Amino acid sequence: MSDLHVLLAAAVVAAFAHTLLGPDHYLPFIVMSRARGWSLKRTLLITAGCGVGHVAGSMVIGMVGVGIGYGITEIAILESIRGNLAGWAFFLFGFTYMTWGIFKAIKNRPHTHVHFHANGDAHLHEHVHRREHVHVHPADSRQLTPWALFIIFVLGPCEIMVPLVMEPAMRHDMGGVVVVALLFSIVTIATMCATVTAGYFGLKILPYKNLDRYIHAIAGGTICLSGFAILFLGL
């Protein structure tokens, strides 16, 4: 096999493993699609868009690094810094969203009123306020959430791609750079979308009705844990 063929094979394996072993690549989209009521089409569009930003950010960093004479070590250090930034961004976004979700769940907890009739009879009436104020404002967080995820994914490095594309770049083989980067990106995004699709339908069959009012808190907690895994477990 030629060097390019070896790189292409490595790119496929690395992209698939890197994506599947990194829960931050799919869990945020799965839980947010349920919490925000996104359709599968919208979920996959947001997932793919964030995937493009994820790989493009590292590609740009790698090419700029090569252009100014950086080696793999220097670029790896820069990507590590970006990784910490992305991890903290995930953690803080998830924690904030979880806190808001807990407040929303407490506010919408079922409560009981006593209703008295003119004849003196009384009965209990249980309800929630979850349907109050349901219309969407222009600055509603439903519109902001996809952009927040996109920005975090642009910040997030794709460290494993950098050495794959730098090898042909250092040989001034721009054709090789393009082919390796495209293949890595396609496999990464396809794996993200496939995993998100499986999770999307998986959530639909789970008996979560009793947890419905906690769904935002659960979504935020899941994203917060994804950030924790990036920061402290190296995932």
- The pLDDT of residue 135 is 39
Higher pLDDT residue, 173 or 45? 45
119-163 confidence digits (pLDDT tens) = 544 444 444 555 444 333 434 445 667 888 888 888 777 777 877
Helix (H, G, I), strand (E, B) or coil at 203: helix
Q: Is the pLDDT of residue 190 over 90?
A: yes
The domain ranges of the chain are 3-106+141-232
Q: Residue 179 is encoded by which pair of tokens?
A: 């082919």
15 contacts: CB under 8 Å, gap ≥ 6: 160, 161, 183, 184, 185, 187, 188, 191
How high is the mean pLDDT of the chain? 77
Q: Is the pLDDT of residue 116 over 60?
A: no
**Confidence category of residue 228, pLDDT binned at 50, 70, 90:** confident
Span 18-38, average pLDDT: 87
38-61 confidence digits (pLDDT tens) = 889 999 999 999 999 888 887 777
Q: Is 228 exposed, middle or buried (0-12, 13-18, 19+ CB in 10 A)?
A: middle
Q: How many CA atoms lie within 13 A of 180 on its CB side?
A: 26
Span 182-201, average pLDDT: 93
What count of other Cβ atoms lies within 10 Å of the Cβ of residue 118?
Answer: 5
